[in-house]
Amino acid sequence: MTAGESGDSTGLTLERVSKSFEGVHAVSELSLRVPEGLIFGFLGPNGAGKTTTMRVILDILRPDTGAVRWRGRPVDDQTRRRFGYLPEERGLYPKMKVLDQLVFFARLYGMPRAEAAAAAERWLERFGIADRRGSRLEELSRGNQQKVQVLVALVHDPDLALLDEPFSGLDPLNSELLEAALRDLRDRGKTVLYSSHRLEQVEDLCEEVAIIARGQLRLSGNLEAIRDSAARRILHVRTASRIPPDITGLPLDPEEPGRDYARFSLREGADPQLVLQVLAARETVEYFAVERPSLQEIFIEATADGAGSSNGDGVEVADGVEAV
């Protein structure tokens, strides 16, 4: 797993992409590889440069330096028509009818008319808004407008779907529908890159993730590998009575102190067995678990400024991070 090599002939590759606006670096020296046939979580705090990166991939913004490749070749008009895009700034033609809208965009992406109409009907059916096919978009509720917007990105069965926070504004039921749709795409060999702040869902849905902050890549790669290779371990402890507040001498940093339940992070290199023995000698231990950090924890650590400590084996760290 090496990122940024231009020799790759599959997937999406960003090579040292930089984009600044009036002196402010929105994205700097960002290299990224998104393999084909999986769902890729593109994560970062607000203002990290996720939207800018997506716009650069679609050539809505021209990068100051760097290049974007799809299947080893620079992205051009033809390849872009095999992409689907859900922009952060939602917007379609408000006075156009729902079905017409989907058919129009599908054809714009190169689908023949009959095929586009069939696909549009199918997607509307799948998302439960087939009865609104003849309504103008502006007549729909915000939630349904959001669904139509998502469908515009998917209706032409793109090879690569770039979705900027696709789940925001969707209720749990519709989120389920969309999750299933994305899994379907992936199972048929398509690639999905999406940004989200719902990290538990990302954990659930994504095989690979990238976390960026301040326009720089903080880490990327296989989600399980990232979690495995995080040096830190989390201890969950429950005792029959009060957890002694002074477990001094143990290699623990309290994360979530409580009366009979507490969460600690284990210091690097410490042996959890030793902790268990010490605890067991003093209290009745009812529950003791050693876990990998969650994506949430990894995210917070990776995006906290100056943090770059979670680089372990098998995890790629962007060039810029060490310098921080």
Partner 1 sequence: MNLVRLIVEREYRARVRSKGWIIATVFGLIAIVGLNFAPTIADTVFGGRQVRIAVLDETAASMNASSGYLERLRADLVETLASGDPRYVVERASADREGMLAQVMSGAVDGFLLITEAGSQQAFKLTTLDTLGLAERSRLTSALSAARTFLDLEKRGIGGAEALALFRPVVLDTEVAGKGPDDGEIPGESWALTYVLVLLFYITLAIYGTYVAMGVIEEKSTRVVEIIISTVRPFQLMIGKVFGLGLAALTQYAVWVGAGFGLLAARGALSGLEVGAVSLRFADIDPWLLVAFAGMFALGFFSFAGLFAAGGSLVSRTEDAGQITGPITMVLVVVLFLAVYSMDNPESTGAVVLSMVPMTSPLIMFVRIAMGDPPAWQIVVSCVVSLTTILVLVWMAAKVFRAGILLYGRRMSVRAVVKAFR
Task: Check binding of 59 to partner 1 (CB under 8 A).
Answer: yes
Select from 16, 25, 71, 81 the one that contacts partner 1 (CB under 8 A): 81
The one segment of 8-16, 77-85, 119-127, 316-324 that binds partner 1 by CB under 8 A: 77-85
For residue 237, what are the CA distances in angstroms to 247, 257, 261?
Answer: 12, 10, 6
The pairing of beta strand 191-195 with beta strand 160-164? parallel
Q: Which is nearer to partner 1, 16 or 82 (CB)?
A: 82
Select from 16, 71, 90, 233 the one that contacts partner 1 (CB under 8 A): 90
The one segment of 64-72, 105-113, 206-214, 236-244 that binds partner 1 by CB under 8 A: 105-113
Select from 40, 42, 70, 104 the one that contacts partner 1 (CB under 8 A): 104
Residues 108, 110, 116, 122: is their CA dihedral positive or negative? negative
Task: Check binding of 105 to partner 1 (CB under 8 A).
Answer: yes
Q: Interface residues for partner 1 in 189-228 (CB under 8 A)? A: none
Task: Check binding of 187 to partner 1 (CB under 8 A).
Answer: no
Task: Check binding of 91 to partner 1 (CB under 8 A).
Answer: yes
Task: Check binding of 114 to partner 1 (CB under 8 A).
Answer: no
Select from 47, 72, 94, 245 the one that contacts partner 1 (CB under 8 A): 94
Residue 190 Cβ, how far from partner 1 at the closest point, in Å? 17
The one segment of 73-81, 140-148, 237-245, 266-274 that binds partner 1 by CB under 8 A: 73-81
Q: Which is nearer to partner 1, 156 or 186 (CB)?
A: 156
Residue 293 Cβ, how far from partner 1 at the closest point, in Å? 36
Task: Check binding of 108 to partner 1 (CB under 8 A).
Answer: yes
Task: Check binding of 42 to partner 1 (CB under 8 A).
Answer: no
Q: How far apart are CA 34 and CA 47, in angstroms?
A: 21
Task: Check binding of 152 to partner 1 (CB under 8 A).
Answer: yes
Task: Check binding of 77 to partner 1 (CB under 8 A).
Answer: yes
For residue 110, what are the CA distances in angstroms to 116, 231, 255?
Answer: 9, 48, 53
Q: Which is nearer to partner 1, 80 or 232 (CB)?
A: 80
Task: Check binding of 133 to partner 1 (CB under 8 A).
Answer: no
Residues near partner 1 (CB under 8 A): 55, 58-61, 77, 80-81, 83, 85, 87, 89-96, 100, 104-105, 107-109, 152-153
